[in-house]
């Protein structure tokens, strides 16, 4: 509360983003967690709440006769344009919000004060709701080919990896540890996804510290072990998701990529996805286009093209497809890495999983996938999503791109996903909102240190409880689209601009009638009708039974039938 210089400002105007002449007048309140705009026009009491943790940046513009403009950009792409009557007030609000939206320590994060009124037992159940081990069991693991390793139980081998890791049966602790020393940040090759049907696997790691000529016996043995865990194939792919030039440049720093000569039976492949800085700039450029007030079609398309955003989405999806095909069609295992193995690697592995396995296209399955390949495998959520004051160069919309790949797939396969667009948008929003503890910190070890299980709440159970809002009415688990491998087209014209996310708050831009809501309402009614039908049938049966019994008893008692 000490950061709030001015808790209340009156006669503030909130301009409509598209038509600035339309504005609403009200009072602006600053609380410890939110900015609240309460419209006080006669008879209307509408409130606009903005979470501080969702505020990305603010812009104070030159004061004019009407007041001092303050434009707030949010991480969920909402843009609010306030006009505050007095310069002094605007200045105070600006400074307060700046401090409030940029926590300096983890302790200030919203998840520690967010209180949905559940007791400790319920909170624990929230966190136990999703069980990663259950997903491995679902894949059939552990089995004769893959085992659970305890080598990283105390995060000593790699402090950014999870404690539970699956490795080939033949990989001994010395091999694992040796390999980890040859990998950036100790992130040795380990299992991401295992295909029961043909034993092919997707493994992930970081780049090898190969420099120009370094070798590591254990790392080579590790890959050998992975190869042998797929008895039906005599080679495996190693996919470096960086552009070749970047990978080569890394060699000068003592890192690099796998030399086909040193590793037996690998086929090495670059699939160039650009780095986090390129992605950050790309999204920034695209957001600028989204915020144009009345762009022409040319402005929009040119802006979209020059941002390169859809090109990057396509690159991620293309990479996922390559890996999914290798596993499902060729039955060949794949090792995926980038530099650190927590950005592009996470994207590509999880996209491939969505393509391969219908389970990850269910509500629960997607949550499990994000928990596994992103949260547990140490994607640096707090750094990438700018949860607190930090290095702006670490911020990058990597998870955004994964969610968008899923959305692009949903557009191509409307019947294949159990969840709807709203599900993805809600997850996106909460990754950035810090309301839940799931995405706080940068890896599993940090989360345990912060005591998030005991001090915050889990998003996953909230989503599950409210699943009715997130269901896709067109989904049927037995639908042909929902089976097996998805083979999407990645021709450029198949990629759409995700208006639902990037212009989410521009209500006028979206279809005024929602097919999905209409169908969901019908399905709800159908369910009620089915219940009514069952109950009517039951009543009908009872009545006939009763009628029969009554007649029978009358006959028995010699009373004869009426009429």
Partner 1 sequence: AEEFSLMYPFFYRPMFEVIEDGWNSFLPKDAFKDLESMTDEWRLSEVNKDFSVCPSYPPLVAVPKDVDDDTLRKAATFRHSGRFPVLSYYHKKNGMVMMRAGQPLTGTNGRRCKEDEKLINATLRPGKRGYIIDTRTINVAQQAKARGGGFESEANYPQWRRIHKAIERSNVLQESLIKLVEACNDQSHSMDRWLSKLEASSWQTHVKEILTTACLAAQCIDREGASVLVHGTEGTDSTLQVTSLAQIILDPACRTIRGFQGLVEREWLQAGHPFRQRCAQSAYSNSKPRQEAPVFLLFLDCVWQILRQFPCSFEFSESFLVLLFEHAYASQFGTFLGNRTAERAKLSLPEKTVSLWSWVNRPQELERLSNPLFEANSLVIWPSVAPQSLLLWEGVFLRWNRSSRCLDEAYEEMVHIIEYNKELQNKVNSLRRQLAQLETEDPLLQTP
Q: Which is nearer to partner 1, 148 or 521 (CB)?
A: 521
7 belongs to the binding site for partner 1 (CB under 8 A): no
511 belongs to the binding site for partner 1 (CB under 8 A): yes
**196-204, 273-281, 328-336, 501-509 -> range binding partner 1 (CB under 8 A):** 501-509
Q: Which is nearer to partner 1, 21 or 512 (CB)?
A: 512
| Cα 505 from Cα 523, distance rounded (Å) | 27
Q: Strand, coil or helix: what is 82?
A: strand
| Cα 516 from Cα 472, distance rounded (Å) | 7
**55-63, 85-93, 115-123, 299-307 -> range binding partner 1 (CB under 8 A):** 299-307
530 belongs to the binding site for partner 1 (CB under 8 A): yes
**Minimum CB distance to partner 1, residue 517 (Å):** 10
479 belongs to the binding site for partner 1 (CB under 8 A): yes
Distances (CA, A) of 70 to 58, 66, 80, 89, 380: 7, 12, 8, 11, 31
Phi-psi category of 554—alpha, beta or left, where left has phi over 0 and alpha has psi -120 to 50? alpha
Q: Strand, coil or helix: what is 268?
A: strand
| Cα 291 from Cα 383, distance rounded (Å) | 25
Structure tokens at 334: 């794949």
Q: Which is nearer to partner 1, 245 or 509 (CB)?
A: 509
From 389, 523, 555, 559, residue interacting with partner 1 (rule: CB under 8 A): 523
536 belongs to the binding site for partner 1 (CB under 8 A): yes
Contact predicate 47/37, CB 8 Å: yes
Q: Which is nearer to partner 1, 307 or 458 (CB)?
A: 307
Name every residue whose Cβ is closer than 8 Å to that of residue 132 and which is 6 or more positions away in sequence. 164, 368, 371, 372, 376
**Residues forming the active site:** 338
288 belongs to the binding site for partner 1 (CB under 8 A): no
**Minimum CB distance to partner 1, residue 348 (Å):** 18
**Minimum CB distance to partner 1, residue 538 (Å):** 11
19 belongs to the binding site for partner 1 (CB under 8 A): no
Name every residue whose Cβ is closer than 8 Å to that of residue 451 and which is 6 or more positions away in sequence. none
305 belongs to the binding site for partner 1 (CB under 8 A): yes
CA-wise closest residue to 378 among 204, 199, 521, 524? 204
φ, ψ of residue 106 to 5 degrees: the values are: -60, -35
| Residue 81 CB coordination number (10 Å) | 17
Instruction: Confirm or deny that 338 is annotated as ligand binding.
Output: yes
Binding positions for partner 1, rule: CB under 8 A: 18, 290, 295-302, 304-305, 308, 310-311, 314, 412-416, 473-474, 476, 479-481, 489-497, 499, 503, 506, 508-513, 515, 518-519, 522-523, 525-526, 529-530, 532-533, 536-537, 539-540, 543-544, 546-547, 550-551, 562-563
Binding residue numbers: 275-276, 338-344
Feature table: binding site for substrate: 275-276, 338-344
């Amino acid at each position: 509360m000490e950061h709030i210089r001015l808790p209340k400002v009156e006669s503030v105007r909130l301009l409509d983003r598209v038509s600035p002449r339309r504005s609403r007048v009200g009072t602006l309140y600053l609380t410890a967690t939110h900015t609240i705009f309460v419209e006080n026009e006669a008879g209307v009491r509408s409130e606009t709440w903005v979470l501080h943790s969702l505020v990305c940046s603010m812009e104070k513009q030159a004061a004019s006769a009407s007041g001092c403009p303050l434009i707030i950009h949010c991480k969920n792409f909402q843009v609010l344009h306030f006009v505050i009557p007095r310069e002094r007030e605007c200045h105070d609000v600006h400074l307060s919000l700046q401090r409030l939206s940029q926590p300096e320590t983890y302790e200030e994060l919203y998840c520690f004060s967010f209180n949905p009124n559940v007791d400790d037992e319920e909170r624990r159940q929230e966190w136990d709701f999703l069980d990663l081990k259950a997903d491995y069991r679902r894949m059939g693991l552990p089995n004769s080919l893959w085992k659970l390793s305890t080598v990283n139980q105390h995060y000593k081998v790699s402090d950014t990896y999870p404690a539970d890791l699956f490795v080939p049966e033949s990989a001994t602790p010395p091999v694992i540890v040796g390999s980890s020393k040859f990998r950036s940040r100790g992130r040795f090759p380990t299992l991401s996804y295992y295909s029961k049907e043909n034993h092919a696997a997707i493994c992930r790691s970081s780049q090898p510290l190969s420099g120009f000529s370094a070798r590591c016996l254990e790392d080579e043995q590790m890959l050998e072990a992975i190869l042998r865990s797929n008895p039906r194939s005599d080679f495996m792919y190693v996919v470096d998701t960086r552009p070749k030039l970047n990978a080569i440049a890394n060699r000068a720093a003592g890192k690099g990529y796998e030399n086909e000569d040193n590793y037996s039976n690998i086929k090495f492949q670059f699939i160039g996805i650009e780095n986090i800085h390129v992605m950050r700039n790309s999204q920034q450029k695209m957001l600028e286009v989204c915020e144009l007030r009345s762009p022409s079609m040319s402005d929009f398309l040119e802006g979209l093209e020059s941002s390169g955003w859809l090109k990057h989405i396509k690159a991620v999806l293309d990479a996922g497809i390559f890996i999914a095909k290798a596993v499902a069609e060729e039955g060949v295992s794949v090792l995926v890495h980038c530099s650190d193995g927590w950005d592009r690697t996470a994207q590509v592995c999880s996209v491939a999983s969505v393509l391969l396995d219908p389970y990850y296209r269910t509500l629960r399955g997607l949550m499990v996938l994000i928990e596994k390949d992103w949260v547990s495998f140490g994607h640096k959520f707090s750094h990438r999503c700018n949860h607190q004051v930090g290095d702006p160069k670490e911020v990058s919309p990597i998870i955004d791109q994964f969610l968008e790949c899923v959305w692009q797939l949903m557009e191509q396969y409307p019947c294949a996903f159990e969840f709807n667009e709203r599900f993805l948008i809600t997850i996106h929003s909460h990754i950035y909102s810090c309301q839940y503890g799931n995405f706080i910190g940068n890896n599993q070890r940090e989360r345990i240190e912060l005591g998030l299980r005991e001090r915050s709440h889990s998003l996953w159970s909230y989503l599950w409880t409210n699943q009715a809002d997130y269901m896709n009415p067109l989904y049927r688990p037995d639908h042909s689209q929902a089976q097996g491998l998805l083979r999407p087209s990645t021709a450029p014209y198949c990629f759409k601009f995700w208006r639902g996310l990037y212009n989410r708050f521009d209500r006028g831009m979206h279809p005024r009638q929602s097919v999905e809501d209409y169908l969901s309402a019908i399905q709800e009614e159908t369910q009620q009708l089915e219940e009514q039908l069952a109950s009517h049938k039951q009543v009908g049966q009872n009545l006939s039974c009763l009628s029969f019994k009554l007649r029978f008893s009358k006959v028995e008692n010699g009373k004869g039938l009426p009429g």
